[in-house]
Amino acid sequence: MTLQIWIWLMIGITFSLYIGIAIWSKAGSTNEFYVAGSGVSPLANGMATAADWMSAASFISMAGLISFMGYDGSVYLMGWTGGYVLLALLLAPYLRKFGKFTVPDFIGDRYYSDTARLVAIVCALIISFTYVAGQMRGVGLVFSRYLEVDINTGVVIGMAIVLFYAVLGGMKGITYTQVAQYCVLIFAFMVPAIFISIQMTGNPIPQLGFGSEGQDGIYLLDKLDGLSKDLGFHEYTSGSKSKLDVFFITAALMIGTAGLPHVIVRFFTVKKVSDARKSAGWALLFIAILYTTAPAIAVFARTNLIETVSEKKYDEMPVWFDNWEKTGLLSFNDKNNDGIIQYVAEPEINELTIDRDIMVMANPEIAELPNWVIALLAAGALAAALSTAAGLLLVISSSISHDLIKKIIKPDVSEKGELIAARISAFFAVLMAGYFGINPPGFVAAVVALAFGLAAASFFPAIVLGIFYKRMNKEGAISGMVIGLLLMLFYMTKFKFGWFGGGTSEDWWFGISPEGFGTFAMLINFIISLVVCHLTKEPSKEIQDLVEKIRIPSND
C-alpha cells in the first residue's frame, strides 16, 4: 500500500473512533458537561489528563527542540513533568474536596468576592486562548503535510471534529475521546522510537538505548558530543544557557503546569479525594513514558541527521530530503557551489537550515521505517493536538457559561439555559480558535511558552495560599494576582514585542529570560499577597471553616 492510502486509513479509523465515542457519551446535564458527572475512574482520568496535557508541541516539537538544544532542552523535560508533583501534593486533592466545576469557582468562593472571581476568569481566558490557537495551527500543519491539503483547509477539518465532540459531549465526551487519543498518540510515538533504537544501538528500550554504544562501539552520546564540537556547535550534553536562567525557566514551567486551568479541572472529574491523588499518579506515569523517550529520539535524530547530510553530496540525498525541502521546512543553499552540504554552527559557512519541528515527523523517513509507521505518526500528532484543543475549549466555554453568566451576570439561569449557554460558548470558542489558527498573529508562538509564566504568576499563589494559609483574605489574593499578572505581561511585552522601550537580553532583570520570568513574578505575587493580607482584616469564621474542611477528605 502507498503511504497516502495508509495515512487516510489511519486517520479515518481514529477519527471515526473519536466521533463514535462522542455520540455514545453525550452530556445531558451541566454536571456532565463541566466535570463528566464526577464519575471518571482514576485510570481513565490519568490517561485523559495525559492526552489533555501533551499537545502538538510535546508530540511534534519537543524532541526536535531538545535535539538542537542538547542539555538546555532539559528545562522542558523537568519543567513539564515536575509540575505534576506540585499538582498531586499541593492542589488536586484539596480542589477535588472543594468539589465545584472550575478554577474561578474556587477563587471566587474561597475569597468570597466576585472581583476575585472576575480576575480569575480573565486569567483563565488569556491563558487558554493563547494556548488553543497554537493547537489549531498544529492540526493544520499536520493535515497539510500528510493529506496534501492547504493548511487552512486542515484547520477547518480539525475545527469541525473538535466542534462535534466538544459541543455535543462536553467534558464527558472529551474525557473518553482523550482516553482513546492517549492510546493512539503514545503508540504512535513509541513505535518509531523503538525501531530506531534497535537500529542504532541494538537496545529495544529507547531510554537505555541513547546511553548505549552504537554499532561502532562508541557511546552514542560521546559520539554526538564529538560531532557537535567538530561542527562548531556546543557540546550536546552541556548547555549554553546560564544556570540561573535554566533554574528560573524550569521553575516557571513546573509551577505554570500546576496552575493551568485545563489541567486542574481534570481533577474535578473523579469521584473522591483519594481518586484525585491516584489519577495524578497515573497521569504522570503516562506522561513520563513520552517524556523519557523524547530525549532519546532527540539524540537518535540528531546523530542520524548529521551523519546523513554533513559533508555529503547534495545530489545523493535520500528521498525524504526532497520531500521536506518541498515543504520549505528544510532548505539547502550551496554557498560555495561545491555541491556538498556544509552543515556547521557558523552562519557564514552553514548551508543547511532545518526547522526543528521536522525532527520527529521526518525521523521515520530518515530511518527508513515502513509506511504504516509514518501514517501512524500522523494520526498520533493529530490526536495530541485535538485532545489538548478540546480540553482548552471546555475551560473557555465553562468560564463564560458557568463563571461569568451563572455566577455573576444571571444567577437565576436554569440548568437547561446554562447548558445551552455552555454549548454556544464552546461553539464560538472553536470559531475563534480556528480564526487564530488560520491567521496566526505573529505573537502566538512566542506567547504559548509564556502562558506558563502567566499561570505561575497569577493562579498558583492564590490557590496554594487559599489551601495552606487560613488567614489569607481577598484583599491579599486579588492584589497578588493582579500585580503578578501585570508584571508578567509587562516583562513579556517589553522583551518579546518591544513595548515600553523594548530591550535585549543585556537588559533582562538579573539575567532572567521572559520564559523564566514567571518564577520571579510568582515570588512577587506571594510577597504582595502576604503583605497586603496582614494589613487588612482576616477572613470570616465561615471561610476559615471552609478551608479546614477542604483539608480533610471526609465529609463530616
Partner 1 sequence: MNKKAAKEYWRQNIKYLVVLLTIWFTVSFGFGILLIDELNQFKIGGFKLGFWFAQQGSIYVFVILILTYIVLMNKLDKKYNIK
Q: Which residues bind partner 1 (CB under 8 A)?
A: 66, 71, 73-74, 77-78, 81-82, 84-85, 88-90, 93, 207-208, 210-213, 219-222, 237-238, 243, 246-247, 250-251, 254, 274, 277-278, 280-281, 284-285, 288, 291-292, 295, 548, 551-554, 556
Smallest gap from Cβ 205 to partner 1, in A, equals 12
Cβ-based neighbour number of residue 366 at 10 Å: 21
CB nearer to partner 1: pick between 114 and 213 = 213
User: CA distances (Å), 439 to each of 133, 431, 434, in order?
Assistant: 10, 12, 8
CB nearer to partner 1: pick between 349 and 552 = 552
**Alpha-carbon gap, residue 367 to 365, rounded angstroms:** 5
**Alpha-carbon gap, residue 80 to 253, rounded angstroms:** 6
Query: Residue written as cell 562501539?
Result: 217
Smallest gap from Cβ 42 to partner 1, in A, equals 10
Smallest gap from Cβ 267 to partner 1, in A, equals 13
**Alpha-carbon gap, residue 110 to 106, rounded angstroms:** 6
Smallest gap from Cβ 436 to partner 1, in A, equals 32
CB nearer to partner 1: pick between 219 and 443 = 219
Smallest gap from Cβ 272 to partner 1, in A, equals 8
CB nearer to partner 1: pick between 71 and 508 = 71
Smallest gap from Cβ 515 to partner 1, in A, equals 15
Are the beta carbons of 434 and 58 closer than 8 angstroms?
Answer: no
CB nearer to partner 1: pick between 18 and 286 = 286
User: CA distances (Å), 95 to each of 110, 151, 272, 455, 462, in order?
Assistant: 11, 40, 11, 17, 13
Query: Would you give the DSSP letter of residue 539?
Result: P
Query: Residue written as cell 500528532?
Result: 381
Taking each continuous run of H as one helix and of E as one strand, the counts in the chain are 23, 2
Q: Which amino acid is at 497?
A: F
Q: How far is CA 10 from the centre of its chain?
A: 24
CB nearer to partner 1: pick between 201 and 397 = 201
CB nearer to partner 1: pick between 249 and 361 = 249
CB nearer to partner 1: pick between 46 and 170 = 46
Smallest gap from Cβ 211 to partner 1, in A, equals 4
Smallest gap from Cβ 86 to partner 1, in A, equals 8
**Alpha-carbon gap, residue 278 to 103, rounded angstroms:** 20
Cβ-based neighbour number of residue 258 at 10 Å: 27
Q: Which amino acid is at 541?
A: K
CB nearer to partner 1: pick between 222 and 322 = 222
Burial class (CB in 10 A: 0-12, 13-18, 19+), 523: middle
Smallest gap from Cβ 65 to partner 1, in A, equals 13
3-state secondary structure (DSSP) of residue 537: coil
